[in-house]
Amino acid sequence: MPTPLKGTAAVIAAAVGFSTLTAAAAAGPASRPAAPTRVTRAALDPSLVAGRGADLGFSEQEAENAVTDGTIVGPGRDAYTLAAEASGRSAVALEPGQYVEFTLPAAADAITVRYSIPDAATGGGTTAPLDVAVNGRDHRSMTLTSQYAWLYNEYPFSNDPAAGPLHPDWWTTECGCVPDATTPAPAFPTPFRPNHFYDEQRLLLGRTYHAGDVVRLTAPAGSTAPTTTIDLLDSQLVAPPKVDARAADVLLFGADPSGRRDSAEAIDRAIAFARKAHLPVYIPPGTYQVNRHIIVDDVTIEGAGSWYTILKGHQVTLPAPAPDGSVHTGVGLYGRDASAGGSHNVHLSGFAIEGDVRERIDTDQVNGIGGALSDSSIEGLYIHHTKAGMWLDGPMTNLTVSGNQIADQIADGINFHTGVTNSVVRGNFLRDTGDDGLAMWSEKTADSGDVFDHNTVQTPVLANGIALYGGSDLTVTDNLVADPIREGSALQIGTRFGAVPFSGRIRVGDNTTVRSGTFELNWKIGLGAIWIYALEHSVDADLEVTGDDFLDNTYNAIMMVSDWPVKDQYSITNVHFSDIKVDGTGTDVVSARAAGGATFQNVQARNVGAVGIDNCGSFHFTPAGSEFTVTDLGGNTGGGTTGPWMAGWELPNTLTCDDRPVVVAPPGPSPWS
Ligand SMILES: [Ca+2]
């Protein structure tokens, strides 16, 4: 039952994903008594992910589990669809007049709505109202926007829904050709590769509601949006505003909490005073207009909490490109450049950074947090609509990033780039990044001794949930990664992007992934929940993958690949998998497309859709078997459609190569008794 769509904006929506609308069982009418709306984490029963990921004190409820007279979108995992980019790969579409309602699981005075509305016909976004009512009264209106959503086309993407391919000299998967070198010229339907559909918005409700109270979100009858898609609702009880009377209050230095006047210089003055007086800087509740970087060094800056203190900026076009290549600037807190010695002893907490970045320009420094910050901490920020949430350019050391939320980014969530050492990213929540959620990128100089621990990464629209690109002695533990959408995996260990090789001990332990492993659109093969990739060097450091749960894998759970042109040059060795649970694979447990080998111990699998080990080695197919050796250290049990996943006949290196095994969608994850 395709939803009837009207108007020019609707044309785009209709073309790109509303075709996934189904007449699935929408819940009952408004008169139905409120039933508790399930609380989930990454659309999973919380018991399945206990102790993993971040806990920032909010409850997440998926719209597809709520009461609605709208239409369920999905589930579906195909790129460029609204379903695929939704948490849990499903959402609810509302026509004007329709609603979705959530029963609060606990006391709450604040909500976050993740939603999508169509783009304007010529790009650039639209706005539309959303009515919020609690228990049928206390109506409020949110103004939803798609100005920060809807990108099109090939990297680095475009806001123009009508544009043909940006790179007609690139090999293009849709035509299987290089368009410029092809006669007749191939035609590409527009919008071409639409993506990044969702945005989120926070709302303080003005009073505290109780468990059992009902929050109804209604697309008003007169809405200009033909469809309003609701993905989920977060609800929480926000702590009262923090007050610090023994600090340099930015109001005393002329900052304007109404957001009307630019406050950057006032904040600079407060910082200068605070450094001399050895005081922290305090930014009380309010919205402060900041349209450039605030340079921070040897200073503590505290807000009243990220729901109250908001630094908000417009993107500004620079009169001439900056020395770093930027052509724009915008709101951000930056340490000094590492080449100038970097910044030290910077402590930032308790405020939001609301940026205004609508396009991806990789030379632009328009990140929420940037520069080099040694011996520093960043805690309790909410970073929204910047390019990357935090992009740290080392060398630098000893940074702790904890308890932050980063959402709706054009590029990465947090990137430790070049020589970031002994630093920790713990307990952060990231949703809807436009590139890797969390990355360590050892370009030229190794990141070393760093830890990503207890973070939640949901719905990165491109690339990976968590990626390590080279480096030494790195740790990725107890994270929860869900729903990567294209050209990436939940976890990637790759020698890419000019990174130095891996060395020392690389530990990937006790993480949970779900609905991960995307369809690689250029290779046209399915990727694993964890993807180990030898592209620019071999992967030969001690790599220990231990205690992880890989749930509801779209294709395989574990993939090891060397790229075709380097398959005889680079290998993957010294990888050790142990104490792993694989619950559901569309295809294999292990896909090996490289020379080398790995050991496996206590890897339990069930609901496996294809042969357990898909072993291609380096594709020479000699009588000696695959160039990839699987070593069985015992306890590798379970399987699926073809029997035990690790069967004797597959060992140690039987060629079982199948580029595209038939996908058998597994049942949803369940407790492992
Ligand atoms: Ca959802």
pLDDT mean across residues, the chain: 94
d(CA 127, ligand 1 centre) in Å: 21
231 CA to middle of ligand 1, Å? 4
SS3 215: strand
Q: Determine which of 30-39, 194-203, 338-347, 529-538 has the lowest per-residue pLDDT on average.
A: 30-39
Mark residue 549 as left, alpha or beta (left: phi above 0; alpha: psi -120 to 50; beta: remaining): beta
Residue tagged 């800056």 (tokens): 301
Q: Report CA(250)–ligand 1 centroid distance (Å).
A: 40
| Ligand 1 centroid, distance to 193 Cα (angstroms) | 21
pLDDT at 27 over 80: no
In the reported structure, the alpha carbon of residue 628 is separated from the centroid of ligand 1 by a whole-number distance in angstroms of: 39
- In the chain, what percentage of residues exceed pLDDT 70? 95
Distance 468 CA to ligand 1 centre (A): 28
Residue 510 Cα to ligand 1 middle (Å)? 25
Residue ranges of the alpha helices (H) in 30-155? 82-85
Higher pLDDT, 414 or 26: 414
| Ligand 1 centroid, distance to 142 Cα (angstroms) | 19
Q: How far, in Å, from the CA of 560 to the mean position of ligand 1? A: 30
Centre of ligand 1 from the C-alpha of residue 599, in Å: 37
Enumerate residues 6+ apart whose C-beta is below 8 A from 656: 611, 613, 614, 615, 626, 650
Q: Report the C-alpha gap between 352 and 334 in whole angstroms.
A: 15
Q: Is the peptide bond before 280 cis (omega within 30 degrees of 0)?
A: no
Q: What is the pLDDT of residues 230-268, one digit of tens each?
A: 999 999 999 999 999 999 999 999 999 999 999 999 999
CA atoms within a 13 Å half-sphere pointing along the CA-CB vector of 600:
24
* pLDDT at 36 (0 to 100): 82
Rounded CA gap, 98 and 150, in Å?
23
- For 327, the token pair is 């052509």
Distance 434 CA to ligand 1 centre (A): 18
CA 233 – ligand 1 centroid, Å: 9
For residue 24, report the distance from its CA to the centre of ligand 1, in Å: 14
Instruction: Report how far ligand 1's centroid is from the alpha carbon of 485 (Å).
Output: 14
pTM of the entire structure? 0.94
Query: 315: CA distance to ligand 1 center in Å?
Result: 31
The structure tokens 């004007």 sit at: 96
CA of 232 from ligand 1 middle (Å) equals 5
pLDDT confidence of 673, banded at 50, 70, 90? Answer: confident
Give distance in angstroms: CA of 540 to centre of ligand 1. Answer: 39
Q: How far is the centre of ligand 1, averaged over its atoms, from the C-alpha of 477 (Å)?
A: 26
- pLDDT at residue number 34: 53
CA distances from 222 to 96, 98, 128 (A): 6, 11, 10
HEC readout, 326-392: CCEECCEEECCCHHHCCEECEEEECCEEECCCCCCCCCCCCCCEEECEECEEEECCEEECCCCCEEE
Block residue for tokens 């447990």: 589
Which whole number is the average pLDDT over 580-609? 98
Total residue count of the chain as it appears in this document: 673
Tens digit of each residue's pLDDT (9 = 90 or more) over 493-524:
999 999 999 999 999 999 999 999 999 988 99
Quote the pLDDT of residue 474: 98
The kind and range of the H/E element at 436 are none
Ligand 1 centroid – CA 18 distance (Å): 15
Question: Can you give the pLDDT at residue 7?
Answer: 33
In the chain, % of residues over pLDDT 90:
93
Do the Cβ atoms of 360 and 384 come closer than 8 Å? Answer: no
Catalogue the E-assigned strands of 178-277: 199-209, 214-218, 228-236, 248-249
C-alpha 42 to ligand 1 mean position (Å): 9
What token pair was written down for 315?
Answer: 């993107």
What average pLDDT score do residues 121-137 get? Answer: 97
How far does residue 466's CA lie from ligand 1's centre (Å)? 21
For ligand 1, the distance from its centroid to the CA atom of residue 63, given in whole angstroms, is 5
Residue 12: the pLDDT is: 36
Residue 31 has pLDDT above 50, yes or no: no
Over residues 269-298, mean pLDDT: 98
Residue 561 buriedness (CB in 10 A; 0-12 / 13-18 / 19+): buried
In the predicted model, what is the mean pLDDT of residues 113-134? 98
d(C-alpha 120, C-alpha 99), whole Å: 23
d(CA 450, CA 119): 40
Ligand 1 centroid distance, CA of 414 (Å): 24
Distance between Cα 358 and ligand 1 center (Å)? 24
C-alpha to C-alpha distance for 320 and 327, rounded to whole angstroms: 7
Cα 88 to averaged position of ligand 1 atoms, centre (Å): 5
CA of 266 to the centre of ligand 1 (A): 42
Helix/strand/coil for 183: coil
pLDDT band at residue 116 under the 50/70/90 scheme? very high
Distance 529 CA to ligand 1 centre (A): 20
Q: How far is the CA of 577 from the centre of ligand 1 (A)?
A: 32
pLDDT, average across residues 153-178: 94
- What SS3 class is residue 20? helix
Q: How far is the CA of 638 from the centre of ligand 1 (A)?
A: 31
How far is the C-alpha of 174 from the C-alpha of 156, rounded, in Å?
Answer: 17
Please, which residues have CB within 8 angstroms of residue 471's CB and are 6 or more apart in sequence?
440, 442, 446, 447, 448, 450, 499, 500, 502, 503, 506
Ligand 1 midpoint to CA 553 (Å): 18
Query: Could you say which DSSP state residue 548 is in?
Result: -
CA of 62 to the centre of ligand 1 (A): 5
What is the arithmetic mean of pLDDT over 641-654? 96
Going from the Cα of 60 to the center of ligand 1, the distance in angstroms, rounded, reads 10
Residues 295, 287 contacting (CB under 8 angstroms)? no
87 alpha carbon – ligand 1 mean position (Å): 4
Task: Please measure the distance between the N-terminal and C-terminal CA atoms of the chain and give it in whole angstroms.
Answer: 40
Task: At 132, give phi and psi (nearest 5°).
Answer: -115, 120
C-alpha of residue 337 to centroid of ligand 1, in Å: 40
DSSP 85-107: HSGGG-EEEE-TT-EEEEE-SS-
Cα torsion 137, 200, 513, 476 to 10°: value is -120
The residue type found at 469 is: Y
Amino acid identity of residue 38, one-letter, is: R
CA of 61 to the centre of ligand 1 (A): 8
Read off the pLDDT of residues 2-17 as tens digits, 9 standing for 90 and up: 332 333 333 333 333 3
Contact present, 592 and 616 (Cβ < 8 Å) = yes
From ligand 1's centre to the CA of 89, what distance in Å?
6
Output the CA torsion sign for 302, 304, 305, 309: negative
Give the distance (Å) from ligand 1 centre to CA of residue 91: 4
Residue 291 DSSP one-character state? -
